[in-house]
Amino acid sequence: MALIGFARVSSVQQDLTLQLDKLEKAGCEKIFSGKHSGKEEANKQKLEELLNYVREGDVVVVTKLDRLGRSLKQVLTVLDRLKEKNVGFKALEQPIDTTKDNDPISIAMIQLLGLFAEMERNFIVSRTTEGRLNKGVKGGRKPLSPEIRAKIAKETRKGDSASVIAKRYGVTPRTVYRVRAESKGITQIRENQNHLFK
């Protein structure tokens, strides 16, 4: 059995050093690394090299689950390919270790953490986009507080229209739609958790 590391950052400004140090300390004998820097293909190539290199019984190690890919779909695809090759997977900073005889908790954590990672990326993209739209406006638009988000989600569930809610809270209808979608995603995750741990 060999521990094979994979490290990835998503922008030019980020540094791989911390991830590489942690993977070396974990005992990885070989480490593949990719840097997004605007070129998704380069990152995919490094990941493909890793997948072609690993053999049955090996364990792929990352610092966090989202280092394995830029989207939930990509992460789950990679995990499926590792499983097909009988290759284990560990995330050092999260309770994920598929080498523990198909531990159902690890499997559930992979799915849930993947969903949370995807949601967080969507939040970042959304905030960045809103920031660009508000560029040049003095002070820009203030981010919504958790309390306001909860009120908007509640009112959309009651059936109030997005335009009415948007006027009520001084936001765009698009923001209302996004809050509603995020609320539905969190509700679905909670339902899945309840189902898994009954």
Active site members:
10
Q: How many angstroms separate the CA atoms of 105 and 74, rounded?
A: 21
| Residues 73, 95: Cα–Cα separation, whole Å | 20
**Which residue is listed with tokens 């097909």?**
84
The one-character DSSP state at 39 is: -
Letter for the amino acid at 46? K
Complete DSSP assignment for 110-133: HHHHHHHHHHHHHHHHHHHHHHHH
Q: Say which residue the tokens 């605007």 belong to.
A: 38
Beta strands, E only, the chain: 3-9, 30-35, 59-62, 88-91, 96-97
Tokens of 71: 């989207």
Q: Please, are residues 136 and 150 in contact by the beta-carbon 8 Å criterion?
A: no
